[in-house]
Amino acid sequence: MNMITETTSLGEDQQDNPAALRHRSEVREVFNLWIVNLLLSILTLGLYSFWGRTKMRQLLWSRTSLLGDDFEYHGRGIELFVGFLVASVLFFGSTQGLNFFALTVENAIVAGVLQILPILIVLILFPTAFWTQRRYILTRTSWRGVRGDQPTGWWGFVWRAIGGYFLTIVSLGLAFPFVATKAMTYLNKNSRFGDTYFTSDMRAGPIFKGYAVLLVSYLLMVAAFGWTIYSTIQDVRSGILSEEEIQARFETIAYVFFGVYAALLIIGPVIYSFFQLQWWRQFFGTLSLAGATISVNASLRSVIIYLVKVFLVMLITLGLGRAFVMRMKIQFLSTHLQFHNIQQVENLAAEAVTELRTGEGMADALFGDFGIGF
């Protein structure tokens, strides 16, 4: 039996058993491409990075398979580059144009509104950039000749995101899990693969526990620290403290700060890992396509190890190693996601996708690469 028929029979055998993604890129080939991309990007003052990123995605996608068939990335460097140029000029033109226009207005209220407008534009553009990038990556990803898409839901996502900013701020961050799960569920429901839309029903409750512990820890630390400094300043001003007492107070503050900070450095990643695990469980665990579902079998320990590795890679590469992080993410998900009833997706039919010739330029121009959209 040759390789070709092996993969076919593998697909057939999987009908009643859970299937997994398989990722088989080697660190060496990723490194070789990464270093070439880096050097060419330096040589071209950063312009090559669009083509470099495209090649890296092509490599990583083509080394990832489901039921024996590889994913394929169809994006082109020129799309990213043109999109970035267009978005840069539009953003630069609109914000600076408004700034100039504000200079010409004498009415203070109108001038004030004009100066606030760029902030509002950014508030709208941030979710737009995220939405557009996700849509671009979906339309440029295919498996078995069928592509993904996210044809609708831009405005719905934008207002959910803007509402979410304010809710999060007003609630001192507590509302974030609710806001994020609502927005992501909305995005998932507006996404499809081939002719079939995903279903999704992310819940904030399970995510909230870990998140609330993390947030409350930080808030308490900030509040306690702020109060200590404030009361010390008040005491110093009132003159009731001697020089030695002031010095002792500040030494205590420093010890407390570093103690709490060190504790959070250890506890923080554990709680964050818990949050990340719960997020993936909600994201993938409630996602369904044509009857096919996904379960997450990762443990907290495996997520902690994964996140520590990500941190170390970013540290060692001075933040330039996003390609390795993306590979690690795909590899992690390949190991810990299980697909059920996956044979159902064989009935998916290809559907025409939206052509986004400007790639994910908005995200590039404003905020850089968001990653792969979940």
For the segment 177-216, give every residue that binds other proteins (CB under 8 A). 194
The label of the residue with tokens 């400007």 reads 358
**Closest distance of CB 168 from other proteins, Å:** 21
Closest alpha carbon to 332 in 313, 307, 365, 355: 307
**Closest distance of CB 75 from other proteins, Å:** 13
**Closest distance of CB 127 from other proteins, Å:** 16
Q: Using the rule CB under 8 A, which residue among 27, 35, 89, 312 binds other proteins?
A: 89
For the segment 13-32, give every residue that binds other proteins (CB under 8 A). 24
Per-residue x/- marks for other proteins, 111-140, CB under 8 A? x----------x------------------
| Angle made by CA atoms 324, 274, 148, in degrees to the nearest 5 | 55
**Closest distance of CB 207 from other proteins, Å:** 30
**Closest distance of CB 22 from other proteins, Å:** 11
Binding segment for other proteins among 63-71, 177-185, 206-214, 317-325 (CB under 8 A)?
Answer: 63-71
Q: Give the residue with the Cβ less far from other proteins, 175 or 289.
A: 289
Encoded tokens for 208: 């909230």
Binding segment for other proteins among 45-53, 201-209, 262-270, 294-302 (CB under 8 A)?
Answer: 45-53
Q: Give the residue with the Cβ less far from other proteins, 4 or 266.
A: 4
Strand 192-193 relative to strand 292-296, pairing: unpaired
Q: How far apart are CA 258 and CA 83, in angstroms?
A: 45
For the segment 328-357, give every residue that binds other proteins (CB under 8 A). 345-350
Q: Using the rule CB under 8 A, which residue among 179, 207, 303, 365 binds other proteins?
A: 365
**Closest distance of CB 145 from other proteins, Å:** 4
Q: Give the residue with the Cβ less far from other proteins, 114 or 204.
A: 114
Encoded tokens for 166: 């304010």
For the segment 241-280, give every residue that binds other proteins (CB under 8 A). none
Q: How far apart are CA 223 and CA 229, in angstroms?
A: 10
Give residues with Cβ within 8 angstroms of 14, minimum separation 6: 67, 342, 343
| Angle made by CA atoms 112, 118, 123, in degrees to the nearest 5 | 120
Conformational region of residue 76, where left means phi above 0, alpha means psi within -120 to 50, and beta covers everything else: beta
Interhelix angle for 108-139 vs 154-170, to 10°? 120
First-residue to last-residue Cα distance in the chain? 39
Q: Say whether 344 sits in a helix, a strand or coil.
A: helix
Q: How far apart are CA 80 and CA 59, in angstroms?
A: 17
**Closest distance of CB 103 from other proteins, Å:** 2
Q: How far apart are CA 326 and CA 269, in angstroms?
A: 19
**Closest distance of CB 268 from other proteins, Å:** 28
Encoded tokens for 72: 């394929």
User: Where on the chain is the footprint of other proteins (CB under 8 A)?
Assistant: 2-5, 7-8, 11, 24, 40, 43-48, 51, 55, 62-63, 69-70, 72, 74, 77, 84-85, 88-89, 91-92, 95-96, 99-100, 102-106, 111, 122, 142-147, 194, 345-350, 364-366, 368
